[in-house]
């Protein structure tokens, strides 16, 4: 027992050391750094399109890199691929398991993936006239909560079994497994340079991983409940997280700490999803109370609300050119706002 006591003391000592180190570099906060910046204007967006076609709750959506196509997944057992501007449905992919929780579009536009309570990530090929299943990635022990393509050959998945995994699509096997979370992994986001990714989990921690060596490089604390949504700032140096504790937080990767918290006394519902505008100035966060709030990322103030859904907003997305924002909801509609 003496050894354990010693190690416990050492661990505590190191913890205080790291907190001191973080404090030492914390020579300013966002409020003072952003003091010179003019506050963002009040943003009033209108619904430009309402995409109707799903018959049950929409759980996820993802834009394609061409800024017009997007894929959405609903528990009616379908993945729908929309041409958002014209409102046409380009493709409908029937799913083997209707309990889908996530979907993703490959950057090349050739593939889409989906997964959910079947514990598998299924990848579909859109190039052929009849959509075929390319691979079924089956090795997770829990539900698939999020997946993102790195390229046409590799995909990252986050699962309810507390692990994230990098898969090779040719062999269908896991190349790397990322272990460290103690709660279900709920979301993941790729860094703009594709060398690392962050994941958020039900243990209220966000972790930064290096894709190449499979190690957790940084852990961010601060939330008091499940982290449901996470995203990189376009500059790649900061991360925004949204949680069931009704707040969103921005963490700076280089300073290794929380920079600002987006919260409101009146807000009493958890954050389900978030997306950032292309300059990183606006944060679109979808909440359980059927609204999507728009925050000024530098000042921490609410600058707008998107109300119009009749049920919880489950997914939000901004395309690469930043032209609009899409919200998907449990009321089975997708709305595009600008």
Partner 1 sequence: MTIRNVRDHGQRYRPRMACLKKVETVVLEMQDPKTGVKSQTQRLVITTIPHAITGEDIVAWIANRLKIDASEAQAMGTMMVAFGYIYPLQDHKRLIIKPDTSLYRFQTPYFWPAQQWPVEDTDYAIYLAKRNIRKKGMLELYEQEEYNNLYKWMNHKWDFIVMQAKEQYRAGKERKKPDRVVFDCQERAYWVVHRPPPGTVSAMDHGLDRMVDPNLEEKKTPDYYRRIIMFTQQCIMRPRVKSSVSIGALVKYTATYKEHDPFLNSCLPSNPWLTDDITYWNLNMPNVETPTKMRVERWTFSFGELLADPRGRDDFRLFLKKEFSGENLAFWEGCEDLKWGAAETMKEKAQQIYKTFLARGAPRWINIDGKTMDITVKGLAHPHRYVLDAAQTHIYMLMKKDSYGRYLKSPVFKETQKKAAAPDAHRFSETQLEQNSKRRRPSLSPITLKQQEEEQKAKLAASGPVDITQVMSKLEKKQRK
Residues ≥6 apart with Cβ < 8 Å to 147: 102, 103, 104, 113, 114, 115, 121, 155, 156, 157, 158
Q: How far is the CB of 221 from partner 1 (least distance, A)?
A: 10
**Phi and psi torsions of 191, nearest 5°:** -75, 155
Interface residue with partner 1, options 66, 131, 172, 174 (CB under 8 A): 66
Interface residue with partner 1, options 50, 132, 136, 151 (CB under 8 A): 151
Tokens of 291: 């609204």
Interface residue with partner 1, options 137, 252, 283, 328 (CB under 8 A): 252
- 156-175: contacts with partner 1 (CB under 8 A): 160-162, 168, 170-171
Interface residue with partner 1, options 259, 275, 285, 315 (CB under 8 A): 259
- 2-61: contacts with partner 1 (CB under 8 A): 3-4, 7-8, 10-11, 14-15, 17-18, 21-22, 24-30, 33-34, 37, 40-41, 43, 45, 48-49
Spatial separation of the C-alpha atoms in residues 267 and 171, rounded to whole Å: 46
Q: How far is the CB of 169 from partner 1 (least distance, A)?
A: 9
- 120-139: contacts with partner 1 (CB under 8 A): 126-127
Choose between 122 and 167: whose C-beta lies nearer to partner 1: 167
Q: Would you count residue 86 as binding partner 1 (CB under 8 A)?
A: yes
Show the binding pattern over residues 282-321: x = contacts partner 1 (CB under 8 A), - = does not: x-----xx-x-----xx-----------xx---------x
Q: Would you count residue 257 as binding partner 1 (CB under 8 A)?
A: yes
- 206-235: contacts with partner 1 (CB under 8 A): 212, 216-219, 224-226, 228, 233-235
Q: How far is the CB of 272 from partner 1 (least distance, A)?
A: 9
């Amino acid at each position: 027992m003496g050894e354990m006591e010693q190690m416990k003391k050492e661990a505590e000592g190191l913890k205080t050391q790291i907190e001191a180190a973080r404090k030492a570099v914390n020579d300013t906060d966002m409020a003072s750094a952003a003091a010179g910046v003019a506050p963002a204007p009040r943003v009033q967006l209108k619904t430009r399109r309402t995409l109707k076609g799903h018959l049950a709750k929409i759980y996820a959506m993802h834009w394609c890199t061409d800024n017009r196509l997007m894929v959405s997944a609903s528990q009616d057992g379908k993945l729908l691929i929309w041409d958002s501007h014209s409102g046409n449905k380009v493709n409908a992919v029937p799913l083997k398991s209707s309990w889908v929780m996530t979907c993703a579009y490959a950057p090349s536009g050739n593939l889409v993936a989906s997964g959910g309570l079947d514990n598998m990530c299924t990848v579909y090929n859109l190039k052929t006239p009849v959509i075929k299943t390319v691979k079924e990635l089956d090795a997770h022990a829990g539900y698939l909560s999020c997946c993102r393509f790195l390229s046409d050959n590799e995909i990252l998945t986050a699962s309810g079994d507390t692990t994230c995994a990098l898969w090779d699509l040719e062999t269908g096997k896991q190349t790397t497994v990322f272990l460290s979370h103690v709660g279900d992994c709920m979301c993941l986001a790729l860094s703009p340079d594709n060398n690392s990714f962050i994941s958020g989990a039900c243990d209220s921690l966000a972790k930064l991983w290096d894709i190449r060596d499979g190690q957790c490089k940084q852990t961010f604390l601060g939330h008091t409940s499940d982290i449901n949504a996470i995203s990189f700032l376009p500059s790649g140096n900061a991360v925004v997280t949204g949680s069931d504790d009704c707040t969103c937080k921005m963490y700076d990767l280089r300073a290794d700490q929380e920079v600002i918290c987006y919260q409101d006394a009146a807000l009493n519902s958890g954050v389900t999803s978030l997306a950032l505008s292309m300059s990183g100035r606006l944060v679109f966060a979808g909440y359980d109370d059927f609204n999507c709030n728009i925050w000024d990322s530098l000042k921490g103030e609410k600058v707008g609300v998107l109300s119009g859904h009749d049920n919880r907003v489950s997914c939000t997305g901004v395309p690469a050119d930043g032209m609009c924002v899409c919200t998907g909801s449990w009321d089975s509609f997708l709305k595009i706002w600008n």
